[in-house]
Chains A and B, each alone.
Chain A
């Protein structure tokens, strides 16, 4: 039942029946979501095992930094795939659409804008206009596919299977098959290593984020008390707050521990015509791309839980007829959901092409499978109506950890994919068993 925890007020019902029982278990009192705990547990297990197998190389600040920037692109798209799958659709075109969006943005900043508007390469407006064009491309193509699905009632599987072939090659046409690069430097800052907050701002961000999390939890508690609903004991609330604050600040500390190599620093100083002081060091801190993912996660979670749009998405997934009879325009809703997916694909395209510093034809190949797998491992039910944003992000993180962990251990390439495929199927099986046992559907 906690599988519906994306549904407001459906928060851990495991704790409810115990309300009357005199002895409540420790976990019940914390009112934590068991599914979330399971996924975090799986993630920690993956990390610990690979850390042992690699003699401690897996859990170094450097590798954690790399893991987080490798996860961003798929994770951003996975949050959108949650909405798609929750409304009982599927989107197989995300990888191909990413290529089209990336191609549009690359051409905008290197050819079209410089040629038509006469903006010189390196002009400050170039990356932003390019990104805007990419977002519009994603939104329009997404909306178009949503229209085909919602209004013309072509199954989403077919529409996006067609899209898988079409958009990859539209991207190919736009660029005449060439690799376009190098991309604008500001644009590249969204890729990861080329754009980070630095130690000081990372700490400030961490503290602000922790503060907001504490405030949100406290005000939610007050709100509950105000309406006369039961709340968990103060100590349990404190433990939850403690865990969250520790996790946020711990993540910042780890990223801040990854220092920029001194030769890179020396090069930067030299570029500015200055001498690097003796013993100078600086840390990368939080990459902008990770900030982007956090922003996307927050916005998507708010949409899912707190807006009518989100409520209608979940209602439609749970019972399309009921949604329709309740006056919800489910056709338009389909267009909106696919359009949101398109925008998120475009955001991912920024991150992915910026990370590579160029656009190539094969960018995003097989991403559709990674994205769907991340959403499904994260607990999104293909039967619709059930799924969470944080689950999808965790799913993406688990997949990426497995993949890069195996690469570090030196597992053969074919074996890597065999393992990932097995994990996907096993994760769904565990999910089905779990749901049956807690009495959900």
Chain B
């Protein structure tokens, strides 16, 4: 996408990308976000941004605050302080419904599917297609599901079975279809490949590239550093609720990132 390229062409881009210098408008800006749970500062003054057509990876130990941070963006939690800007405008996100209004879609680590419902009911959960009489239009929902699944996962045929009967990859397709179908502009993926096999992981990677090419902004959380180097434009590392740093992937090695995760500093910037 052009905007990412502009950023890359930025002569001053020696280390971090300076969003203001590139001239492009960020899709999402998180500014000085803080949230505490019973005295524990889970997210402590983190600022991040995301551009259209860009994948930003979030890395860190378990409990570093990555999931909490993106849950603030997706409306599952409410930040104690800080500001969220979408397209440069201040956004108020108090619930998942608010987030959806800003075209923010989230694929959760735990998949967030209702096991007892079929794929179509899950895909449209909370946003059912209704007939003129106000009833849920199951036939149309199933037809739409069939359409989007043909694109995402052509092998997917178990449309009318509860999703508990599906494999991990198929369930993940349902979760992804849900995000894609409603024209997300900002996609949050929390460990989307954690439960998947090799083939399915590759499928998700291809999909991320395709969505990126379409101009979506994607926040990706994963523990797989290599996968992150492969898919992301920038990576942000968190430790103990604080942001260690944000780096363009071409400026750092996997080892650099690992030491950021483990030691909480970038050896290139702060030589030991």
- Say if the beta carbon of B159 comes within 8 Å of chain A: yes
Whole-angstrom distance between the alpha carbons of A305 and B111 in the complex?
24
Contacts of A176 in B (CB 8 A): none
A183 to B227, CA, bound (A): 75
Interchain CB contact (< 8 A) of B161 among A8, A10, A228, A319: A10
- B170 CB to closest chain A CB (Å) equals 15
The list of the 8 closest CB pairs from A to B, nearest first, reads: A318-B116, A318-B114, A326-B126, A327-B97, A385-B116, A322-B112, A315-B114, A327-B126
A8 touches B162 (CB 8 A): no
Q: How far is the CA of A321 from the CA of B135 in the complex (A)?
A: 24
Do B114 and A9 have beta carbons less than 8 Å apart?
Answer: no
Question: CB distance B134 to A315 under 8 Å?
Answer: no
Beta-carbon contact of A386 and B126 below 8 Å: no
Query: Are the C-beta atoms of A9 and B138 separated by less than 8 Å?
Result: yes
In the complex, the answer to whether B115 meets A441 with C-beta atoms within 8 Å is yes
Docked-complex contact A7 and B112, CB < 8 angstroms: no
User: Contact at B142–A9, with CB atoms within 8 Å?
Assistant: yes
The answer to whether A10 and B114 touch (CB under 8 A), given A327-B96, A327-B126, is no
Q: How far is the CA of A386 from the CA of B97 in the complex (A)?
A: 26
- Asked whether A308 lies within 8 Å of B136 as measured between CB atoms, the reply is yes
Instruction: Tell me the nearest residue of chain A to B110, going by C-beta.
Output: A321
* Cα(A7)–Cα(B112), bound, Å: 18
A229 CB within 8 Å of chain B: yes
- A–B pairs, 17, beta carbons within 8 Å: A1-B161, A7-B121, A8-B138, A9-B120, A10-B160, A13-B161, A13-B165, A312-B126, A315-B122, A319-B114, A322-B112, A322-B114, A325-B96, A328-B125, A386-B116, A439-B165, A441-B115
Q: Are A9 and B160 in contact (CB under 8 A)?
A: yes
Q: Does B173 contact A (CB under 8 A)?
A: no
Docked pose: A315 CA to B122 CA in angstroms = 8
Give chain A nearest CB distance to B193 CB in angstroms.
20
Alpha-carbon distance A318/B140, docked complex (angstroms): 23
Q: Is there a chain A Cβ closer than 8 Å to B198's Cβ? A: no
Q: With A322-B125, A323-B125, A327-B126 known to touch, is A13 a contact of B160 (CB < 8 Å)?
A: yes
Determine whether the beta carbon of A321 is less than 8 Å from that of B112: yes
CB closest residue in chain B, given A302: B135
| CB of B152 closer than 8 Å to a CB of A | no
Known: A8-B138, A306-B136, A325-B76. A314 touches B114 (CB 8 A): yes
User: Smallest CB–CB gap between B105 and chain A, Å?
Assistant: 11
Contact between B118 and A315 (Cβ–Cβ < 8 Å)?
Answer: no
Number of interface residues of A (CB under 8 A): 41
Is B252 interfacial (CB-CB < 8 Å)?
A: no
Partner of B165, one of A1, A11, A312, A323: A1
> Which residues from B are CB-within-8-Å of A317?
116
Contact (Cβ within 8 A) B162 A315: no
- A7→B164 CA distance, assembly (Å): 13
B114 touches A323 (CB 8 A): yes
Given contacts A319-B115, A385-B116, contact A311 B128 (CB under 8 A): yes
Roughly how many angstroms separate A441 CA and B95 CA in the complex, as a whole number? 30
- Choose, from A50-58, A101-109, A219-227, A361-369, the stretch at the interface: A219-227
Contacts of B118 in A (CB 8 A): 7-10
Q: Which residues of chain B come closer than 8 Å to A307, judged between CB atoms? A: 134-136
Contact with B along A362-403 (1 / 0, CB 8 A): 000000000000000000000001100000000000000000
Q: Does A4 contact B (CB under 8 A)?
A: yes
Question: Are A8 and B125 CB-contacts (below 8 A) given A314-B117, A322-B113, A326-B96?
Answer: no
- CB-defined contacts of B111 to chain A, threshold 8 Å: 322
Q: Is the CB of B130 within 8 A of A318?
A: no
CB of B100 closer than 8 Å to a CB of A: yes
In the complex the two chains form, is B142's CB within 8 Å of A10's CB?
no
Residues of B within 8 A of A (CB): 74, 76, 95-97, 100, 106, 108, 110-118, 120-122, 125-128, 130, 134-136, 138-140, 142-143, 159-162, 164-165
Which A residues contact B (CB, under 8 angstroms)? 1, 4, 7-11, 13, 16, 223-224, 226-229, 302, 306-308, 310-312, 314-319, 321-328, 385-386, 439-441
Distance between A363 CB and nearest chain B CB, rounded to angstroms: 36
Contacts of A316 in B (CB 8 A): 114
Q: Among B117, B134, B159, B162, which residue has its beta carbon within 8 angstroms of that of A1? A: B162
Min C-beta distance of A340 to chain B, whole Å: 17
B contact residues around A13 at 8 Å (CB) = 160-161, 165
Provide the residues of chain B in CB contact with A306, threshold 8 Å: 135-136, 138
Do A9 and B96 touch (CB < 8 A)?
no
B74 CB contacts on chain A under 8 angstroms: 325
Most chain B CB within 10 A, of A9, A223, A385, A440, is at A9
Q: How far is the CA of A386 from the CA of B115 in the complex (A)?
A: 10
The CA of A328 and the CA of B122, in the complex, are separated in Å by 12
Who on chain B is nearest to A321 by CB?
Answer: B112
Tell me which of B97, B116, B140 contacts A4 (CB under 8 A). B116
Residues of B within 8 A of A321 (CB): 110, 112
Residues of chain A lying within 8 A (CB to CB) of residue B161 = 1, 10, 13, 16
Additional 20 contacts, C-beta under 8 A, given A315-B122, A441-B164 = A8-B121, A8-B136, A9-B142, A16-B161, A224-B139, A306-B135, A307-B135, A308-B128, A308-B136, A314-B117, A318-B115, A319-B112, A319-B114, A319-B115, A326-B96, A326-B125, A326-B126, A327-B97, A327-B100, A385-B115
A223 to B139, CA, bound (A): 7
Query: Quick one: which of B106, B140, B160 contacts A11, CB cutoff 8 A?
Result: B160
* Nearest B residue (CB) for A6: B116
Distance from B118 Cβ to chain A, minimum over Cβ atoms (Å): 5
- Expressed in whole angstroms, the Cα–Cα distance for A327 and B162 within the complex equals 21
Q: Is the CB of A16 within 8 A of B115?
A: no
- The CA-CA distance from A322 to B163 in the complex, in Å, is 13
Contact B112 A325 (CB under 8 A): yes
A228 to B159, CA, bound (A): 13
Q: Are B138 and A440 in contact (CB under 8 A)?
A: no
Cβ A324 vs Cβ B121 within 8 A: no
Inside 8 A of A228's CB, which chain B residues have their CB?
143
Closest Cβ of chain A to B188, distance in Å, is 11
Minimal beta-carbon separation of A431 from chain B (angstroms) = 15
Q: Which of B97, B110, B160 has the most CB of A within 10 A?
A: B160
CB-defined contacts of A1 to chain B, threshold 8 Å: 161-162, 165
Set of chain B residues within 8 Å of A8, measured between Cβ atoms = 118, 121, 136, 138
Task: Kindly report which residue of chain B lies nearest to residue A220, judged by CB atoms.
Answer: B139
Q: Which residues of A contact B108 (CB under 8 A)?
A: 325
Within the complex, the shortest CB–CB distance from A216 to chain B, in Å, comes to: 13
